[in-house]
Amino acid sequence: AVRWYRLATDQGLAEAQYHLGVCYQNGTGVRRDHAEAVRWHSLAADQGLSHAQHNLGWCYWNGAGVGRDHTEAVRLYLLAANQGYALAQRVLSELGRL
């Protein structure tokens, strides 16, 4: 799957960027690399993909592959939540931010 995601990322496809980020985040088909996950999630999040914004928010909240930044994490969770992404809405609710 990683090979196909890479081919699709060459076309700038946000879903493929997100899925490649998940592969790096979880170590599926590649060596786990949170910094590389952040790179791919950022590209997809910049295109407005809500689940990438959520995953990138998780990375910022936990300091995985990027410096811990709760303000940036909440900003990203809000972007995803405002698109109706239920998981981001739940996280914000648990944080008392929604």
Give the three-state DSSP class for 25.
Answer: helix
Contact 96, 81 (CB under 8 A): no
Mean pLDDT of 20-37: 98
pLDDT in tens, 33-89: 999 999 999 999 999 999 999 999 999 999 999 999 999 999 999 999 999 999 999
Predicted pLDDT at 97: 82
